Amino acid sequence: MAGAVLVRRMVVVVAIAALVAPGEVAAQLTPTYYDGSCPSLQSIVRSAMAAAVQQEPRMGASILRLFFHDCFVNGCDASVLLDDSSTITGEKNAGPNANSLRGFEVIDSIKSQVEAACPGTVSCADILAVAARDGVNLLGGPTWAVQLGRRDTRTASQSAANSNLPSPSSSAAALVSAFASKGLDSRDMVALSGAHTIGAARCATFRARVYNDTNISPGFAVRRRQVCPASGGDGNLAPLDALSSVRFDNGYFRNLMGRFGLLHSDQELFNGGPVDSIAQQYAANGAAFSRDFVTAVVKMGNISPLTGSSGEVRSNCRKPN
């Protein structure tokens, strides 16, 4: 009798394991991970993010991007937060990150408040996951239960940051394949790209598009050239969503319908290619975008976490213990 129950239980375990996509270890993370050990985690992160976003709404975007750039480089393990040192070549100076990623001080400040409340307990990787969720929600986007229990890596990989993070000159096919290699399908890729409904990009990342692309609204190209000279002004900013860059809505997709995508890679999602119908659906239906974004961002957060006794809980997010 007990044997039959055990066998049945093993069958269930094997069946569940088969459902989890490669690159995910979903079963090991849980939203309740710190409920006993750090009950104040959620409220500490929420108030710190509320203050940061109130001071500068763009910070919600910057922290969400940090989470993406963490997860796509050897998993969500806080590798992106490590500074360069004599023993570590960090990811902060990789091509997609240098002079671009921001928000590290906000994560540092949250980490010190969390350390004061629950010393040595909450990983930097988990703090980033919760802070990213709160940034989205504070800018009017959805909320979700964040899976927790990630640990922090002791190493970083600048070369993986250079090769795994998608470039703004990517084609739709290249984007599909970059996300597929992380266990994320086309629908996840398009929904996650909707993160560009908030935040800003530097001229260097959209210059080629506004001067040379043909699938761009001519009036929009002229306006963006005014902030982005043909040479110089690399750091000049433009909103990724011309309609509402401090509001997490489906404006990004409505822009694409009018050829108002700021990055070449943005407009690739609606350019007669393989994912047009998904972009169209999100432009027409904000609730569908919101729902699929939540599904996809939770999946992204499950990319190769360190769990159990792997890695460590850093005491300072910028360096290993």
Ligand X SMILES: *[C@@H]1O[C@H](CO)[C@@H](O)[C@H](O)[C@H]1NC(C)=O
- The question of whether 69 is a catalytic residue gets the answer yes
Q: Residue 320 binds what, of ligand HEM, ligand X, none (CB under 5 to 8 Å, by partner type)?
A: none
Q: Residue 58 binds what, of ligand X, ligand HEM, none (CB under 5 to 8 Å, by partner type)?
A: ligand HEM
Cβ neighbors of 183 (< 8 A, separation 6 or more) are 21, 22, 23, 24, 299, 303
- Residues that contact ligand HEM, how many (by CB under 6 A): 26
156-177 as b/e: b if 16+ CB within 10 A? bbbeebbebbbebebebeebbe
Nearer to ligand X, 214 or 277 (CB): 214
Any contact of residue 97 with ligand HEM (CB under 6 A)? no
Nearer to ligand X, 102 or 225 (CB): 225
Is 249 one of the annotated binding-site residues?
yes
Q: Judge whether 88 and 156 are in contact, CB under 8 Å.
A: yes
Assigned token pair, 245: 């860059």
**Residue 105 CB-density burial (10 A; 0-12 exposed, 13-18 middle, 19+ buried):** exposed
Cβ neighbors of 319 (< 8 A, separation 6 or more) are 82, 83, 85, 88
| CA–CA dist 141, 207 (Å, integer) | 29
Q: Residue 74 binds what, of ligand HEM, ligand X, none (CB under 5 to 8 Å, by partner type)?
A: none
Shortest Cβ distance from residue 230 to ligand X (Å)? Answer: 6
Shortest Cβ distance from residue 178 to ligand X (Å)? Answer: 22
Any contact of residue 100 with ligand HEM (CB under 6 A)? yes
Q: Residue 23 binds what, of ligand HEM, ligand X, none (CB under 5 to 8 Å, by partner type)?
A: none
| Sign of the CA dihedral running 127, 129, 130, 131 | positive
Which of 79, 157, 236, 265 touches ligand HEM by CB under 6 A?
265
Q: Judge whether 128 and 63 are in contact, CB under 8 Å.
A: yes
Which of 24, 44, 49, 62 touches ligand HEM by CB under 6 A?
62
| Sign of the CA dihedral running 176, 178, 184, 190 | negative
Contacts with ligand X, residue ranges (CB under 6 A): 207-208, 211-212, 230
Which of 89, 93, 170, 316 touches ligand HEM by CB under 6 A?
170
Which of 64, 110, 128, 216 touches ligand HEM by CB under 6 A?
64
CA-closest candidate to residue 313, choices 183, 135, 124: 124
Which of 38, 94, 263, 279 touches ligand HEM by CB under 6 A?
263
Is 312 one of the annotated binding-site residues?
no
Q: Which of 45, 58, 62, 69 is catalytic?
A: 69
Q: Judge whether 128 and 122 are in contact, CB under 8 Å.
A: no
Active site amino acids: 69
Binding residues for substrate, as ranges, are: 166
